[in-house]
């Protein structure tokens, strides 16, 4: 769930906000809320992974990677979008869109659980690996981060050097 939310938050913050601190806040606050809900749900047995997944260091390493990629994508998108000094939307607007998207993903996942008539998963993955959609979200974040990083580096190298006198 955090991979999906990370992509959405990165896109919203990167496209709508120009100031770096606002971009980071627009990603960090809703991401933390979704991470808390996801961690609680996994620990309560509502996920594909076994409940003890949240006590393992690997879970937190993956969440840190997801968060870092989401922030990196958002900052790079913002830098590319607002490099000419264009104005951004009010931060409050971007924060509310990010929170709404995060809530939409959480509610969508909860509805999926309720409509399946199961509050707990009958068979947990023995390896503790995330579901396919989670893996695709993580891979999408990493690919987006690397791709935008390459574009950013290419643009920096193609700029003429400025002399400081």
Burial environment of residue 102 by CB neighbours within 10 A (0 to 12, 13 to 18, 19 or more): buried
How would you label 121-136 residue by residue, b for 16+ Cβ within 10 Å and e otherwise? beebeeebebeeebee
Q: Is the pLDDT of residue 114 over 90?
A: no
DSSP 120: S
**Confidence at residue 121, expressed as pLDDT on a 0 to 100 scale:** 54
**Do residues 148 and 73 make contact, with C-beta atoms less than 8 angstroms apart?**
yes
* Total domains present in the chain: 1
| Residue 63 pLDDT level (bands cut at 50, 70, 90) | very high
Specify if 141 maps to a domain: yes
Specify if 15 maps to a domain: yes
Specify if 54 maps to a domain: yes
Which residues form the domain of 33? 2-158
Q: pLDDT digit string (tens) for 36-51?
A: 988 988 888 877 778 8
Specify if 97 maps to a domain: yes
16's tokens: 């709508």
Q: pLDDT digit string (tens) for 70-107?
A: 999 999 888 887 776 655 556 666 666 666 666 777 77
More confident residue, 13 or 128: 13
Specify if 165 maps to a domain: no
* CA nearest neighbour of 31 among 9, 52, 13, 47: 9
Which run of H or E residues covers position 98? Answer: helix 91-115
| Residue 32 pLDDT level (bands cut at 50, 70, 90) | very high
């Amino acid at each position: 769930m955090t991979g999906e939310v990370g992509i959405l938050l990165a896109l919203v913050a990167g496209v709508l906000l120009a100031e770096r601190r606002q971009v980071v806040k627009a990603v960090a606050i809703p991401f933390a809320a979704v991470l808390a809900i996801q961690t609680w749900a996994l620990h309560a047995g509502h996920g594909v992974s076994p409940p003890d997944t949240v006590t393992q260091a690997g879970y937190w390493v993956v969440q840190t990677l997801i968060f870092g990629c989401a922030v990196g994508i958002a900052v790079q998108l913002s830098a590319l979008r607002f490099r000419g000094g264009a104005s951004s939307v009010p931060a409050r607007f971007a924060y509310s869109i990010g929170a709404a998207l995060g809530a939409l993903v959480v509610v969508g996942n909860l509805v999926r659980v309720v409509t399946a008539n199961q509050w707990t998963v009958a068979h947990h993955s023995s390896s503790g690996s995330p579901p396919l959609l989670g893996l695709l979200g993580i891979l999408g974040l990493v690919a987006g981060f690397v791709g935008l990083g390459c574009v950013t580096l290419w643009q920096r190298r193609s700029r003429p050097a400025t002399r400081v006198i």
